[in-house]
Amino acid sequence: MSFVEYSDCIQDGDVAIVYLGHESMTPVKVKRGAQTQTRYGVIRHSTDLIGQRYGSKVTCSKGGWVYVLHPTPELWTVNLPHRTQILYTTDIATITMMLELKPGSVVCESGTGSGSLSHAILRTIAPTGHLHTVEFHQQRSEKVLEEFKEHRVDHLVTVRNQDACKDGFGVTGVADAVFLDIPSPWEAVRHAKAAMKKSGGRVCSFSPCIEQVQKTCEAFSDQGFEDITSIEVLLRVHDVRTVYLPLPDFGPDPSAQIQPDSTITPPQNHASIAVKTTIPPRDVQGHTGYLTFATKPRTQL
């Protein structure tokens, strides 16, 4: 198992996602001889997990069952231990697309936080790209490195425990893209520029407040970035419903030159048909933050 490569069967040392039901999942470190308690009873790793196929239905000791899923960055985002605020898949999908990330991309990121975005970046840039991630909180940087090792993606990432605003990203002229999720991103913009390739690239900053966005846009402009754009991504999940619509009664068909026939049954007054449709949500999910994108143009030679 690795977060960037799929394996068929569960092995000793894997991290598996135990799916207990809607909205109820938990990550489990698979270890020979270990047990995991669930509300459906005990899962014995040696017999119930190791050697089973990912996606299998596993029966617990009380007779209830769970599914054991292969980990993905999306599942990790909804199951990871929170050490900070994190980015969720709606923003992550937009960031990945707008930063034009692909296999082989070199990316700089700060702060690493709980590693939610980092895992998604790693899956996209594997197998030949690299992520340079900077986190100034020592325990957070140590913990996330431990997780990268457990998830077998540590060969794709360098974690630096330093201040991105003071000391930058630890690399110069190598990055295709830079991502900032720190309280004062405008202080890191010049370091972002220095970390990026001479051929240019894309940068993104995530900030919850519009005052932060204004300062960051000014810094991007001062540093010569172009195409500065701020967006907010709001997800609207529609509910699928069956609704009953009345059949319209258009009266007799004037083009049909048929004499009234008493054997034809007239349409019923309140006839209706069942149709599937979607209902938009009444409330739109809350604000997470603004995403500001900009382009570093190719340096003139």
Ligand X SMILES: C[S@@+](CC[C@H](N)C(=O)[O-])C[C@H]1O[C@@H](n2cnc3c(N)ncnc32)[C@H](O)[C@@H]1O
54 or 136: CB nearest ligand X: 136
Q: Binding residue per annotation — 135?
A: yes
Minimal CB distance to ligand X: which residue? Answer: 111
Q: CA-to-CA distance for 77 and 91, rounded, in angstroms?
A: 12
Q: CA-to-CA distance for 143 and 149, rounded, in angstroms?
A: 10
Q: Binding residue per annotation — 116?
A: yes
Q: Binding residue per annotation — 105?
A: no
* Phi, then psi, of 257 in degrees rounded to 5: -90, 60
Q: CA-to-CA distance for 182 and 113, rounded, in angstroms?
A: 9
Least gap, CB of 158 to ligand X (angstroms): 14
Least gap, CB of 139 to ligand X (angstroms): 10
Paired tokens of 55: 């996606």
Find the angle CA(269)-CA(274)-CA(277) to the nearest 5 degrees.
130
Least gap, CB of 40 to ligand X (angstroms): 30
By the 10 Å C-beta count (0-12 exposed, 13-18 middle, 19+ buried), 283 is classed as exposed
61 or 94: CB nearest ligand X: 94
49 or 111: CB nearest ligand X: 111
Q: Could you tell me which of 219, 233, 220 has the C-alpha nearest to residue 87?
A: 233
Least gap, CB of 32 to ligand X (angstroms): 31
Q: Binding residue per annotation — 218?
A: no
Paired tokens of 82: 């929170």
36 or 114: CB nearest ligand X: 114
Query: Is the distance from CB of 188 to CB of 212 less than 8 angstroms?
Result: no
Q: Binding residue per annotation — 163?
A: yes
For ligand X, the binding residues (CB under 6 A) are: 84-87, 110-111, 113-117, 134-137, 140, 163-165, 181-183
44 or 190: CB nearest ligand X: 190
Binding residues for S-adenosyl-L-methionine: 114-117, 135, 163, 181
Known binding-site residues equal 114-117, 135, 163, 181
